[in-house]
Copies of this chain bind each other. A is one copy, B any other.
Amino acid sequence: MPLVKIWARKPRTAEDLSTMGDCVHKALVATANVPAKDRFQILEAIEPAMLVADPTYADCDRSPDQVIVEITLNSGRTLEVKKALYGDIVRRLGETLNVRSDDVLVSLVEVTKENWSFGKGIATYG
């Protein structure tokens, strides 16, 4: 059910983006009760100037290696679950690709379960 979008600046490569997708998915499974097979993602490595991120907002020290993650998912996760998710995404991105924790923005967009069709033209959870 999550639909994940990830943007990073070049020279991050398609392979790097795929690894970022792995990290975010594993974090969703580990912390937010997402099924292991429930993985749907749009990944993009974009021209550096087309990803804008303030260098210091929210007491962070951001680098050109900024990553933006948007996750559309069903509502209902608690703040504790969201906190665990943010932490686990950052941990995995750091361990696999040396993304710095200050360089990871996560934005959640919550929807209702009726709002998904994963195929066959039916409301998957309806």
Contact = CB atoms under 8 A, between A and B. Distances in A.
Copies of this chain present? 3
Interface residues of A, number: 65
A101 B115 contact: no
6 contacts: A3-B70, A18-B52, A42-B68, A82-B115, A108-B111, A110-B112
Given A42-B46, A62-B119, A90-B121, 18 more contacts: A3-B70, A17-B50, A39-B53, A39-B54, A43-B52, A58-B124, A59-B119, A79-B123, A82-B126, A83-B126, A86-B121, A103-B119, A104-B117, A107-B111, A108-B111, A108-B114, A109-B109, A109-B115
A106 interface: yes
Interface of A is mostly: mixed
